[in-house]
Amino acid sequence: MSDEKNRATAAALLPLVGGAANVTSVAHCMTRLRLGVADRSLVRDDALKALPAVLGVVEDDTYQIVLGPGTVARVTPEFAALVDAGRDASPAPDTSPQPSPATSPTTPDSTDPTPTPIPSTAEDLAAQGAALKARRKARNATPVKLFLRRIADVFVPLIPALIGCGIIAGLNGLLTNFGVLPALVPALAAIASGFMSLIAVFVGHNTAKEFGGTPVLGGAVAAIIVYAGVAQVSAFGQQLSPGQGGVLGALGAALLAVQVEKACRRYVPEALDVLVTPTVTVLVSGLVTLFGLMFLAGEVATAIGTCANWLLAHGGAAAGFLLGGLFLPLVMLGLHQALIPIHTTLIEQQGYTVLLPILAMAGAGQVGAALAVYFRLPGNRSIRRTVRSALPAGFLGVGEPLIYGVSLPLGRPFVTACVGGAFGGGFVGLFNQLGTTAGSTAIGPSGWALFPLLKGDQSLGATLVVYALGLLIGYAAGFLATYFFGFGKQALADLNAATGAPVDGAQRLGADGARG
């Protein structure tokens, strides 16, 4: 039955993205089906959002359909199979015009000089959320942010393995602490640690693939970092150690390998390419890695770990407050992607990242804000229905439906959601400062989905309690801030009285401003 449901979901999605002929690539991460589309105009956003299985859509470098953890991994292969079958049959893309129910008929388009209408219904919220995403994408298309996005894409495919190994490591810790099944402990330790011991190779492979090189050459150069024989090599007056530089060194080594390979392709005759290019690429990149990158990346990685630990040990409450409060704006600016290599470096060094549980509080603030929106708008069944449908995903750490479907289009609730994240982050940071560290053994999940991955320097029970209380504080702070400060009086009256007709956005801003 489950397989039939996944096939049905895939079959429902395909025509709404323009058919198989319009899909150029299919991939997935923890929660999203990531599609390359040839013609964006053939994608029916509103019809996709209306599907029960779809939690939201995000347009970035790829078109991303949020299906949620677990579901996306099962739907993706079914979708890919349908795409392959459709390409074989070569169907014509569906170009029939479709109505756009998510946009009010009186909502002006981007070229209309009239004021933007207030999002008074779920459909208006969805339309304004889509517009905000489009503007965010345009603002984020800078060289630095595009580079950070590509770096993030190097690590995204590794997240399932990080999660699986992290949970196994947690289970192994429980068996060790309770003295249960001691014969199984070494086996579980090997299973949990095997991937992490070779993560540099996977990073090198993915880096070369992402930046246009030969993946296996990137992996070959990065493998030097974890080779035991590097202990015989000296650089900068010091003996190297296996793994020195970690994922940062692997990233740099593979990026260098891509540039060397591209240079060889330009100058090496085709008849010699198959022999010369791989050899020169591995040799040159390998020597630079051994006598430069490993040492430098190792120093940077050590500094990252030292700074993170020092920051939370000496100013944990303030640091947590700032990190938890600013994470959602960082996501909007596209700068959060720079944190992914830092998380991975901390996991590689210490076994967990102390930053993720703090940043996860931003999602708690978002959930609290959405609950307040629900209770403050008893007369707006449309928006309340959107909140009800998006909250389960929000509790599990999938925040896009709440961000783009509720809080961001409404304006103030997005700010008050950040307040909730700040208080939750400040609480978790405070306990880091007091000596009870809460960390995560993997990146990707947040909200309730992070519980199986929690690890710290105290007992597991203490770590779980700190994180759970942080979530509750984030929920409560986000709720209270939104309930009391999330709406102006006139806006609240307009939204509760809304019947689908939009209210002038400039009038609303004036009314809100007059009330502080």
Q: What is the pLDDT of residues 390-443, one digit of tens each?
A: 898 889 888 878 887 888 888 899 999 999 999 999 999 999 999 999 999 988
Q: What strand order describes the sheet that includes 23-28?
A: 23-28, 32-37, 63-66, 56-59
Nearest to residue 245, comparing CAs of 156, 345, 332? 345
- Please state, in angstroms and rounded to a whole number, the distance separating the CA atoms of residues 408 and 290: 48
CA distances from 477 to 143, 206, 412, 426 (A): 37, 40, 14, 11
Which pLDDT value is given to residue 137?
62
**Confidence check: pLDDT of 213 > 70:** yes
Which domains are present in the chain?
Answer: 2-90 (3.30.1360.60), 148-306 (no CATH), 330-514 (no CATH)
pLDDT tens readout for residues 31-73 = 788 898 999 889 998 888 888 888 778 776 788 898 877 788 7
Catalytic residue among 29, 165, 264, 418: 29
pLDDT value at position 147?
A: 86
Q: Is 92 buried (19+), middle (13-18) or exposed (0-12) by CB count in 10 A?
A: exposed
CA distance 67 to 250: 32
506 compared with 77, residue with greater pLDDT: 77
Percent of the chain with pLDDT over 70: 85
The answer on pLDDT for 109 being more than 70 is no
Among candidates 478, 475, 454, 477, which has minimal Cα distance to 466? Answer: 454
Q: In this model, does residue 105 exceed pLDDT 70?
A: no
Instruction: List, for residues 435-482, the tens digit of each pLDDT value.
Output: 999 999 988 888 998 999 999 989 889 999 999 999 999 999 999 999
Is the separation of the CB atoms in 474 and 423 below 8 Å? Answer: yes
Please give the average per-residue pLDDT across 312-332, as a whole number: 91
> Is residue 29 annotated as a catalytic residue, yes or no?
yes
Does residue 8 surpass a pLDDT of 60?
A: yes
Residue 30, pLDDT > 90, answer no
Sequence-separated (6 or more) residues with CB below 8 Å from residue 326: 418, 422
pLDDT band of residue 149 (cuts 50, 70, 90) is confident
Give the torsion through C-alpha atoms of 97, 14, 44, 67, to 10 deg: 160
Whether the model clears a pTM of 0.95, i.e. scores above it, the answer is no
Q: What is the pLDDT of residue 123?
A: 64
28 close to 444: Cβ distance less than 8 angstroms: no
Which residues neighbour 6 within 8 Å (Cβ) at sequence distance 6 or greater? Answer: 71, 74, 75, 78
Query: Nearest CA to 455 among 311, 386, 377, 354?
Result: 354
Pick the residue with more confidence: 334 or 81? Answer: 81
List the alpha helices (DSSP H) in 211-269. 215-226, 246-267
Pairing outcome for strands 23-28 and 63-66: unpaired
Mark residue 461 as left, alpha or beta (left: phi above 0; alpha: psi -120 to 50; beta: remaining). Answer: alpha
Q: What is the mean pLDDT of the chain?
A: 85
